[in-house]
Amino acid sequence: MMTRPWPEIVAHYGEYEGEARSIRALAQLTHQISESHLAKGLFAWTSMFDLCIVQRPVSYQYDSPLLRMSPIDKDRLEFRYLDTWEKAKQWHRTVDADQAMPRLIKFLDQLRWFSADVLESVSRDQSS
């Protein structure tokens, strides 16, 4: 199985001891996901420091459309949705490391991966 349990993913990022805000943001993001209702409907794996998220467990990375979050420098992350092989047609955004969770929630809302109620609840939990 390609996807891994959230505690394993959180532990993977928890081993990082460097200073890159982007990788630390992924560590925080995975922890926040694992502690929220999102963990029940998101499945993930890592590739180096990239975090890849899908809607169902998969055995092969291209079995399903996926959201890949990659640290592109020490302070920024790229969100890229791979639902086509044509890179120019792939949705992508670059955000400051501090915007990882808000950008993820926007993405989940735009694609309707979760109901608005669930996303509002997660947003409220993050701001408390």
Give the domain range for residue 48: 6-127
The answer as to whether 12 is a domain residue is: yes
Q: Which residues contact 55 (CB under 8 A, 6 or more apart)?
A: 41, 42, 43, 64, 113
Res 128: pLDDT: 64
The answer as to whether 1 is a domain residue is: no
The answer as to whether 39 is a domain residue is: yes
Q: What is the pLDDT of residues 75-110, one digit of tens each?
A: 999 999 988 777 778 789 999 999 999 999 999 999
The answer as to whether 37 is a domain residue is: yes
Tokens of 35: 């502690």
Number of independent structural domains in the chain: 1
Q: What is the pLDDT of residues 39-77, one digit of tens each?
A: 999 999 999 999 999 999 998 777 789 999 999 999 999
The answer as to whether 68 is a domain residue is: yes
Prediction pTM value: 0.90
Mapped onto helix, strand or coil, the DSSP state of residue 124 is helix
The answer as to whether 33 is a domain residue is: yes
Q: What is the pLDDT of residues 21-32, one digit of tens each?
A: 999 999 999 999
The answer as to whether 57 is a domain residue is: yes
